[in-house]
A = this chain, B = another copy of it.
């Protein structure tokens, strides 16, 4: 298989490691270290406070937002970076419900990432429990959107199974019922083509440390549909979302741009690392990424199913219904993942029994996929997962 976007040389991946966890934490792009050293020594260390102007730290959140916009089908000026994904979910959801004052249901599905649901719970509590968070099975979302639904809040790709929602179709379904659409693109950005603007979804959020390789704790992004930016409500009214933060007024006046969704002082070092990491995406066509992701995923599924009868595919079988990860269920999945990690094949585990493997064609090829299955086959055939050292749960599993 030829792979026009294979850019493994851009990443500082350990030799002999097969890294199938880019859906959780992307590897270190080589451009990052030099750029971080520069921000420390030449900017923080030498310019100090002047760097906010002279190194243009202040515009990093929008500058990077524009770069991410290109990867998710959004126009310039519609995305800004900041804080964490949970915080951005809170902001987007609060702004979304404010657009439909007469309705009282926030609809989501059981495949959503728990933090999104927790954040919704917290917001509902703050709003005096006027809203109900309604969870349905992922396949039942479209049918559950009725006239009571204020906001449909979904993560496009299920973090456990990789099940992929049809972003355009569900957005249209939400709009037909008069509801606002909020997408979490945590497992979409950098994984597959997203047509945010075309879909007409009102809000989206996402993280940058997975497929975008921004580094551990890289800041999150928030998208607001351009026609709503001026009126969208901001509830986390931080000073950097103010029209004129440095006038230090006692009254809040939101910026008339996407910057209204900024809150506190941005994490400059993380943003600089992220900006450098995004260089790996220069000129990359997401359709090509998707094509290779599907080819590698299909290869992985075929190989595992023919050689590892002990495990059961729990990702959708049809490529069009799947993001860029493949998951298998196995009773001894936790210990199996530990055994694989011991062999330098890095996947991860999600309770109760899901083994996840991220497919990232930028630094994985078909040789890696086949080699990974070699190891999995060995672990299962020799029951290496039985070893005592693989049973103990660690803090992060």
Contacts and interface: CB of A to CB of B under 8 A. Distances in A.
Contact of A394 (B53, B215, B237): B53
Given A122-B237, A126-B235, A237-B121, A273 B269 contact: yes
Nearest to A119: B237
Contacts of A59: 395
A396 B246 contact: yes
Given A33-B40, A85-B265, A264-B86, A53 B395 contact: yes
The 4 closest A-B pairs by CB, nearest first: A84-B264, A115-B239, A217-B267, A216-B268
Contacts of A19: 48
Given A25-B52, A94-B126, 12 more contacts: A24-B49, A51-B216, A52-B395, A83-B264, A84-B263, A86-B263, A115-B264, A126-B235, A216-B269, A217-B265, A218-B267, A267-B270
Contacts of A84: 82-83, 238, 263-266
B217 A269 contact: yes
A14 interface: yes
Nearest to A220: B264
Given A83-B264, A216-B57, A267-B267, A350 B235 contact: no
Contacts of A46: 14
Interface of A: 12, 14, 17, 19, 21, 24-25, 27-28, 32-33, 36-37, 40-41, 44-46, 48-53, 57-59, 82-87, 90, 94, 110, 113-115, 117-119, 121-123, 125-128, 135, 160, 207, 209, 215-220, 234-240, 242, 246-252, 263-271, 273, 341, 346, 348, 350-351, 394-397
A43 B126 CA distance: 39
A241 to B, nearest CB: 8
Contacts of A44: 25, 27-28, 215-216
A27 B53 contact: no
A17 to B, nearest CB: 8
A301 B219 CA distance: 42
B14 A118 contact: no
Contact of A263 (B32, B87, B268): B87
12 contacts: A19-B48, A21-B48, A28-B41, A52-B216, A52-B395, A53-B394, A59-B395, A83-B84, A87-B87, A115-B237, A122-B235, A125-B235
A144 B31 CA distance: 55
Nearest to A213: B44
Contacts of A123: 126, 235
A220 B273 CA distance: 20
Nearest to A133: B250
- The listed residue with most B CB atoms (<10 A of its CB), out of A37, A57, A248, is A248
A17 B82 CA distance: 32
- The listed residue with most B CB atoms (<10 A of its CB), out of A37, A82, A250, is A250
Contacts of A247: 351
- The listed residue with most B CB atoms (<10 A of its CB), out of A115, A125, A246, A351, is A115
Contacts of A122: 234-237, 252
Given A87-B87, A110-B250, A265-B84, A115 B238 contact: yes
A49 B346 contact: yes
Nearest to A108: B250
Contacts of A119: 236-238
Contact of A266 (B12, B27, B217, B269): B217
A267 B242 CA distance: 24
Contacts of A121: 237, 251-252
A114 B12 contact: no
